[in-house]
Amino acid sequence: MTSFDELERQRLEKIERARAHGVDPYPVTFDRTATARELHDRFDGVEPDTNTGARAAVAGRLMLKRGHGKLAFGVLRDGTADIQLMLQVDVLGEEGMSAFADLDLGDWIGAEGEITKTKRGELSVRASSLTLLAKDIRPLPEKWHGLKDVELRFRQRYLDLLMNEDARRVAVLRSRAVQAIREFMIARGFLEVETPMLQVQPGGALAKPFVTHMHALDLDLYLRIAPELYLKRLIVGGLEKVFEINRNFRNEGLSPKYNPEFTMLEAYEAYGDYFTMMDLLESLISAAAREVLGTTDHTYQGRAMPLGGPFRRARLIDLASEAIGETLDLDMAADKARAIAEAHDVPTDAAWGTGK
């Protein structure tokens, strides 16, 4: 098996050969006329073994290649979908077929040609020209096993996005969810604001902050752990309904389920109470689900999780009582509350009162 370093060396040699023949392996632009998804939306209904007469220029990363001689195929992936490339010597020419054979998986390419559907029903671009857009030096992860190492996926997100379709789907859905939340809040009269991320005194939550130093004032500052206090000052100043989709930083650990840098939504409304916010949140969740997923019927990790509401409303202390099978009360003695907590392996502090 060829080593990783040897594959890199071979690809670097291809770059030098291309330059020696006057070919720029990293051109700046390419005139793409359609995405893969646009072609599928327009032509998937075409019968097999059909030449549409329509032409398009597509661009993306080469993910698969097969065949040799007078006929070859490739799979090109752009940011929307995959599309097959059909390469025939009588259309592309001997030089073009040789150029395709010299490509490596992972190379960025552009292809222009007629839109056709093969006898097997695969929508394809019958390429009449190929353009190398960016030579990939590092080989892609092995196709059939994909990228399974969790730590590698989190450290090299670009590889995760490249090799795992579900990772790309989640990235798109997350962006659409943030957009849906923003539009929902604005439609209900909330003003989107930005509050300081560097703070003299971190507040609004109980968390260990990240510390930095401002040289101009010789002053230690903290990355915010929550935007709460500054948002409330805006309410005091007369902005009656405000929200912020904000980045927060908490220096308290790292795992696949916990990131020290994260995004949250925080909103405040004058003249309302926590029932007002319950109503707002319930409407927000269902509206965002319909906008992003097209439905409020949702399953998470095999468990039905309907997002349409209405949702159960309960006090935290009542939920805790249900969980341990014993009634908790804020008026009970602190010693009794502490004993119950310790019986269920919940850490306590001697200075804490019953509520804590």
Domains of the chain (ranges; CATH) run 4-134 (2.40.50.140), 165-309 (3.30.930.10), 314-356 (no CATH)
Residues 6+ apart with CB under 8 A from 143: 63, 64, 105
Cα 135 from Cα 15, distance rounded (Å): 7
In the prediction, which pLDDT does 279 show? Answer: 97
In the prediction, which pLDDT does 140 show? Answer: 85
The per-residue pLDDT for range 219-231, each reduced to its tens digit, is 999 999 999 999 9
Q: Report how far apart, in Å, the C-alpha atoms of 350 and of each of 208, 282, 329, 338, 356 are.
A: 21, 38, 18, 8, 11
In the prediction, which pLDDT does 143 show? Answer: 58
Q: Are the C-beta atoms of residues 73 and 84 closer than 8 Å to each other?
A: yes
In the prediction, which pLDDT does 144 show? Answer: 46
Confidence category of residue 314, pLDDT binned at 50, 70, 90: very high
In the prediction, which pLDDT does 147 show? Answer: 66
End-to-end CA distance of the chain: 61
Q: Are the C-beta atoms of residues 108 and 59 closer than 8 Å to each other?
A: yes
The per-residue pLDDT for range 75-126, each reduced to its tens digit, is 999 999 999 999 999 999 999 999 999 999 999 999 999 999 999 999 999 9
Given a cut of 50, whether residue 23 has pLDDT beyond it is yes
Averaged pLDDT of the chain: 93
Percentage of residues of the chain with pLDDT beyond 70: 97
Element (H or E) spanning 249, and its range? strand 241-249
Confidence category of residue 162, pLDDT binned at 50, 70, 90: confident
Q: Are the C-beta atoms of residues 272 and 294 closer than 8 Å to each other?
A: no
In the prediction, which pLDDT does 158 show? Answer: 87
In the prediction, which pLDDT does 64 show? Answer: 94
Highest mean pLDDT among 5-9, 74-78, 153-157: 74-78
Confidence category of residue 254, pLDDT binned at 50, 70, 90: confident
In the prediction, which pLDDT does 1 show? Answer: 57
In the prediction, which pLDDT does 145 show? Answer: 53
Three-state DSSP state, 161: helix
The per-residue pLDDT for range 320-341, each reduced to its tens digit, is 999 999 999 999 999 999 999 9
In the prediction, which pLDDT does 149 show? Answer: 74
The per-residue pLDDT for range 275-291, each reduced to its tens digit, is 999 999 999 999 999 99
CA angle 69/72/76 to nearest 5° reads 150
In the prediction, which pLDDT does 285 show? Answer: 97
User: Can you tell me the mean pLDDT for 28-44?
Assistant: 97
pTM, full prediction? 0.85
